[in-house]
Each structure stands twice: as C-alpha cells, then as structure tokens.
C-alpha cells in the first residue's frame, strides 16, 4: 500500500480532477467513501449532470471555510493549504470494499495529524474512490480552530501507518523507504511527458543523464561543461559571501512552464547522490594516473576486471570474518564500492560491444538505487574502482574485444550478487531488489558478449589426446570442482584457453590453481567459464609483460602514450564552462 503526500493551493481544481473522467477516461464511478462529516456534505458523485459543477463549487467552499476564516483574520493568503494523499494497493492485492477504504482513510488522516481521532477541531477532509485499487484523500490544512495542523513528517507517518494496515488487512507488505531513493515523478510531470511525446519525464531524463555524466567525468568543471554540451541548462546557486557554487539546478532542453521559462530541478531533487556536496565527494575519490612514457598501453577492460575482482573478494566476505574487525567501517567501504561499481556499469554501457549496450544501460539504471543507502560511503576506499571505471572511456575500442568485455562482465555478475547479499543482510530491501533487477540485465549482457567468444574457442579445441591430458590437469589442480568443470558445456573452450596458456609458458596445473584462487567456484553456475576468463586475462597479461621485456632488452624506443581522449558521454562534446567561482 503506497501513500503519496503532496500539497497545493487549488481546492476546486483538485475536486474537478477527482470527480471527473480522468486524463484518459480511467475514472469509474467517482464517489466519496469517507469524510470528516458525512451528513449534509455536498456530494457531486451521484448528483444529476446539470448539478455536478454547482455541487463541486459548494463542496470546495465548504472545505475551504476554515482557510478563508484564517485569511480574513490574518489578512494574508494561506499558502499551499490543499493537502492531497493518494493511497494505492500493490499489484495483485485483493479487492477492498468501500468500508475498508473508509477505514484506511480515517487511519491515514489520524496518523498524519490532519484529523486525529476524537479531535473535533481537526481539518476538513474527504476520501474519494474512482478506481478499484486506490483512493484520494484531500483536506484543507487549516483546523476548525484556525490553527494549522501538526502534520510534520506526514509522508513518513503515512508510510508507517500503511505498513500496519497491510499486515492487518492481509495485503502485500511493502518495504519501508529509507529516504535515499530518488524522488518519483509526480502525476503532473508524467502527464506533461505524455503530452509532449516523451517516454520519460524531465526529472527521470535529467537524472539518467546526470548519473551517466558523473560516472564519466574527472572533476566538477568537466561535469558541468559536459552537461552544457548536452544542451542541458545549468543554473548555479552561489554563496553570498564566498562566491562559490553551493548548489545547482538542471533543466531539460525544451522543457518550459506556462510562461515559457525553463523548468529546473535541483541536483538533490534528482537524486540524493547528485547534490553538490555528494557529487564533490565522489569526484574527489579517484586516483588520477598518467601512463609512463615508453610503456605498453594496458587494456583498460582487463585492468578494470582485475580491480573488480578485488571488490568482489572484499564485498563477499562476511561481516563476522576475522579480517573485518569493525563491521561499521566494513559497511562504509562496501557502500563506497557499490557506488563506484554503479559508475563502472554506466561507463561500460558506453564502450562495450555495441550489441550489449542496451542491456548494460538498463543494468546501470536499475543499479542506481543500489548505490545509496543509509550507510554513509567512504568514497576514498573505492578510489581504485572509480578510477578504473573512468579509464574504460579513455582507450578507444577496447571494449569491442569481446573476450576482455566478457571477463569483466563475468566478474561484474559476481559483484552484483555479493552486493545484493550485503544489502539483504543489512535490511536494505529496496537496494537488494534493485541489485537483483540489475542482475537480470547484466547476465543477459554477459551472455551476449561471451557466447561468440566461447563458440570461437570451442571450434579451436585441441585434439582429443591433448584435451584428455588437460582434463587430468584439471582433476589434479581443482579436485573438488573437477567433475562440474569437465561437465560444463564450456569445457572445450576452457581446454583451448589452457592450451593457449601453456603455449605462453604457463604450466596448466599452476595456471588453473591460480585462476581457481581468484574466486570461489561453489556458487558459480558454470565454473569452466569462470576459469576461462581468468586464464585468458592471465595469458594476455603474460604476453604484455614479455613484450615489454623484449622492448627493454632491445632498447627500442616506443611511441609516447597519447593523451587521454575526452570521455564518451551520451551525446555532445565538452564545452567551456567554469562554474567554480563568480567572476
């Protein structure tokens, strides 16, 4: 059961909507199911059509009487005096009768302080039902004695009461929020998106763009410059004394109000981690590195996979592990790793093989909710992963190598499972659900990337004699998992990778042992694939090292490493824009 508290100033306008046909004729039989005083209340719901508007006027005047009396006494308009709270059951819940919805309404106005039980001086309110699965509670937030109600934190109080009602009425019990979720678009914003032909509301579009840009850039100036290059309007809030930027708002291109002015949303209103302070914490937590001259340009995807492997190893350990003496400190690091991993998903979605980008983008968007919880992230502890994520954007075409991308995505799947497990054990239900939703898309992207590579390796499987010899090495190196590995459909591809490792100078048994130590295999659905990517990366690293050593022996000069290119962002190029000081 989901309540959604908001305020406004037009009693008559809201009543017209509640008793009207709806924006798409979805309102069926609008009628009052409960009110502060049912007898004698003007009721437009069952009146003849020629009396409908007259009764709406009468009902609005009746509800507004305490507010108008206060205005006459104080000589000033009562601001935002219309209180509105739709309450909706979850999909799949049973049908509630009018009497049950009436009881829900009375409990909500009591819990929120709008009209406490037994208080004859409470606010005037009504509850209107025009669909099977929800009601709208509206009130004028001035009491009969002329005071404003004590309804601070009414949204949280409504949520808490709904959790009790769900249990008592046998409804689906939803998770209580922890106030770290991004604000949901309002019904007005959704209607505007439909009118203008957009699939997303302006708020949702801006949030997605800002998250992707924050994942790609290296500093605050570049963040705002890139947003400007995307056509997004930026408005800064400047400190009156320091002249520094202390906040910002964004407006979608072409999104204007009735006066033709841009509609701005503050960074923190888009998402808590997009506030200026949280953004600065994230951008400061990275390790700027410059490749040494004369070195072989590393494969950024392999580097990111290596870093991600350390993240997986850390997050997967239990909070009672002897290596984690301080559970609270451990949690702050895990939360930081989750936030940095979210950035890696965004950057991977920009440079991965083209046919996987849609699924990776969906995985990144779904995982956004898992990057925030009440645990305050110690971002500096995830600097290596955040830097690796950004570096994916600085090696053109590296992600097009399906093998390196598949290796990273294989490890990423394991990381998401570990982070979902951590959220679940800490009671972060919404974040755990978001991680599970992201996992579905990530697994699809992994299969899209991995299957062509595995098929190619399978076609090049060594002779049966060599394959049997390598199978004996598997049994010797990882006896506890040998049967599952050899039965894995990817075993022929692993045999090819083992033969390649042997050609590069790695004894198969030692290579398998080292690969198996990099991640436990018990939870792996396809252990042969896990070992395959580890072996491929180790073989590539070994070849790079031998190439570098050969260059050093011959004393050959290498071409200096080119400067990193501008990060890839959803669209556009970097524009000059320095918002850091008032000029």
Q: How many CB atoms lie within 10 A of CB 156?
A: 16
Instruction: Report d(CA 498, CA 403) in Å as an integer.
Output: 15
For residue 4, pLDDT over 50 is answered with: yes
Give tens-digit pLDDT for 290-323. Answer: 444 444 445 788 888 888 888 888 887 754 454 5
Q: What is the pLDDT of residue 191?
A: 77
564 pLDDT higher than 50: no
Residue 176's pLDDT band (cuts 50, 70, 90):
low
What DSSP state is assigned to residue 233? E
Q: What is the pLDDT of residue 544?
A: 62
Residue-level pLDDT at 577: 47
Give the H or E element holding residue 248.
strand 245-256
Instruction: Give residue 179's pLDDT band: very low, low, confident or very high (50, 70, 90).
Output: low
Look at 40 and 500; give whichever has higher pLDDT.
500
pLDDT 10s digits, 219-242: 899 999 999 999 999 999 998 888
* Distance of alpha carbon 576 from alpha carbon 225, whole angstroms: 6
Residue partners of 480: CB distance under 8 A and separation at least 6: none
| First and final C-alpha spacing in the chain | 51
More confident residue, 559 or 150: 150
**pLDDT for 450 beyond 60:** yes
Q: What is the mean pLDDT of residues 551-558?
A: 57
Q: Which residues contact 502 (CB under 8 A, 6 or more apart)?
A: 508, 511
How deeply is 130 buried, as exposed, middle or buried, from its count of CB atoms within 10 A (0-12, 13-18, 19+)? buried
| Run of H or E including 59 | helix 52-74
Q: How many CA atoms, within 13 angstroms, populate the side-chain half-sphere of residue 295?
A: 8
Averaged pLDDT score across all residues of the chain: 84
Pairing, β 262-266 against β 233-238: unpaired
Query: String of b and e for 309-348 (b: at least 16 CB within 10 Å)?
Result: bebbebbbbeeeeeebeeeeebbbbbbbbbbbbbbbbbbb
Q: What is the largest CA-CA distance in the chain?
A: 99
Helix (H, G, I), strand (E, B) or coil at 90: coil
What is the CA angle 511-515-516, rounded to 5?
Answer: 120
pLDDT attached to residue 51 = 87
What pLDDT, on a 0 to 100 scale, did the predictor assign at position 487?
92
**Per-residue model confidence as pLDDT tens digits over 337-372:** 999 999 999 999 988 888 899 999 999 999 999 998
> What is the pLDDT confidence band of residue 569, given thresholds at 50, 70 and 90?
low
Q: What is the pLDDT of residue 25?
A: 54
Tokens at 169, concatenated: 């009425």
What is the DSSP pairing of strand 233-238 with strand 123-131? unpaired
Per-residue pLDDT tens over the stretch 259-277 = 899 999 999 889 888 999 9
- Judged by DSSP in three states, 187 sits in helix
Kind plus residue range of the DSSP H or E element containing 447? helix 429-459
Choose between 26 and 146: higher pLDDT.
146
**Statement: residue 431 has pLDDT above 70:** yes
Beta carbons of 415 and 341 less than 8 angstroms apart: yes
Query: What's the confidence (pLDDT) of residue 460?
Result: 92
pLDDT over 80 at 563, yes or no: no
Q: Residue 419: what pLDDT?
A: 94
d(CA 424, CA 109): 33
State residue 292's pLDDT score: 44
Q: Which residues pair with 34 in a beta bridge?
A: 127
Candidate from 91-105, 400-414, 490-504 with smallest mean pLDDT: 400-414
pLDDT band at 395 (very low <50, low <70, confident <90, very high): low
Q: Identify the band that residue 558 occupies on the pLDDT scale cut at 50, 70 and 90.
A: very low
Determine the pLDDT at residue 294.
42
**Chain-centre distance of CA 291, in angstroms?**
33
pLDDT at 289 over 70: no
Q: Sorting pLDDT into bands at 50, 70 and 90, what band is 546?
A: low
Residue-wise pLDDT for 82-135, tens only, equals: 999 999 988 788 999 999 999 999 999 999 999 999 999 999 999 999 888 899
The larger pLDDT score, comparing residue 578 to residue 532, is at: 532
Whole-structure pTM value: 0.70
What lies within 8 Å, CB to CB, of 253 at 6+ separation is 231, 232, 233
What band does 327 get if pLDDT is binned at 50, 70 and 90?
A: confident
- The alpha carbon of residue 24 and the mean position of all alpha carbons in its chain are separated, in whole angstroms, by 30
pLDDT at 29 over 80: yes
What does the pLDDT read at residue 304? 87
pLDDT(432) > 60: yes
Work out the average pLDDT over 370-391: 88
Q: What is the band of 326 on the pLDDT scale with cuts at 50, 70, 90?
A: low
Q: What average pLDDT does the segment 498-503 reach?
A: 88
Identify the sign of the CA torsion 400, 404, 408, 411: positive
Q: Give pLDDT, residue 459.
A: 93
């Amino acid at each position: 059961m989901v309540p959604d508290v908001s305020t406004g100033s037009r009693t008559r306008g809201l009543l017209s909507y509640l008793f009207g046909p709806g924006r798409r004729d979805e309102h069926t039989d609008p009628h009052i199911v409960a009110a502060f005083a049912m007898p004698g209340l003007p009721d437009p719901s069952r009146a003849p059509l020629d009396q409908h508007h007259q009764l709406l006027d009468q009902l609005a005047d009746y509800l507004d009487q305490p507010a108008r009396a206060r205005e006459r006494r104080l000589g000033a308009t009562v601001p935002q005096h219309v209180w509105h709270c739709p309450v909706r059951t979850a999909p799949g819940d049973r049908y509630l009768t009018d009497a049950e919805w009436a009881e829900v309404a009375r409990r909500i106005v009591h819990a929120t302080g709008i009209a406490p039980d037994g208080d004859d001086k409470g606010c005037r309110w009504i509850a209107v039902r025009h669909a099977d699965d929800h009601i709208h509670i509206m009130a004028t937030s001035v009491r009969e004695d002329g005071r404003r109600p004590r309804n601070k934190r009414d949204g949280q109080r409504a949520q808490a009461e709904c959790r009790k009602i769900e249990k008592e009425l046998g409804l689906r019990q939803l998770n209580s929020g922890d106030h770290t979720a991004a604000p949901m678009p309002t019904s007005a914003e959704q209607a505007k998106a439909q009118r203008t032909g957009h699939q997303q509301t302006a708020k949702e579009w801006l949030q997605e763009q800002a998250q992707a840009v924050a994942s790609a850039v290296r500093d605050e100036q570049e963040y705002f410059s890139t947003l400007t290059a995307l056509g997004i309007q930026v408005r800064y809030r400047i400190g009156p004394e320091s002249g520094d930027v202390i906040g910002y708002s964004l407006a979608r291109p072409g999104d204007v109000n009735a006066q033709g002015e841009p509609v701005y949303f503050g960074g923190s209103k888009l998402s808590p981690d997009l506030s200026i302070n949280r953004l600065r914490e994230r951008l400061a937590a990275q390790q700027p590195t410059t490749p040494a001259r004369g070195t072989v340009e590393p494969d950024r995807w392999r580097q990111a996979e290596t870093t991600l492997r350390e993240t997986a190893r850390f997050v997967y350990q239990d909070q009672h592990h002897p290596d984690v003496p301080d559970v609270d400190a451990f949690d702050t690091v895990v939360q930081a790793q989750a936030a940095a991993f979210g950035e890696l998903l965004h950057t991977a979605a920009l440079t991965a093989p083209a046919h996987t980008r849609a699924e990776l983008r969906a995985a990144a968007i779904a995982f956004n909710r898992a990057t925030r919880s009440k645990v305050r992230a110690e971002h500096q502890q995830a600097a290596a992963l955040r830097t690796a994520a950004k570096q994916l954007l600085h090696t053109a075409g590296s992600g097009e190598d399906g093998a390196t991308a598949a290796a990273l995505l294989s490890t990423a799947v394991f990381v998401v499972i570990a982070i979902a497990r951590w959220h679940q054990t800490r009671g972060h239900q919404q974040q755990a659900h978001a991680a599970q939703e992201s996992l579905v898309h990530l697994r699809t992207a992994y299969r899209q990337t991995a299957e062509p590579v595995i098929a190619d390796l399978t076609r090049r499987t060594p002779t049966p004699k060599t394959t049997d010899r390598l199978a004996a090495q598997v049994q010797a190196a990882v006896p506890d998992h040998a049967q599952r590995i050899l039965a894995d459909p990817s075993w022929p591809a692993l045999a090819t990778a083992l033969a390649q490792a042997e050609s590069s100078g790695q004894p198969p048994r030692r290579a398998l042992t080292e690969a198996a130590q990099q991640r436990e295999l018990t939870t792996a659905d396809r252990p042969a694939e896990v070992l395959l990517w580890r072996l491929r990366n180790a073989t590539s690293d070994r070849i790079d090292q031998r190439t570098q050593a050969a260059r050093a022996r011959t004393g050959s000069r290498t071409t200096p490493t080119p400067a990193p290119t501008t990060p890839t962002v959803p669209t556009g190029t970097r524009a000059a824009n320095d918002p850091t000081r008032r000029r």
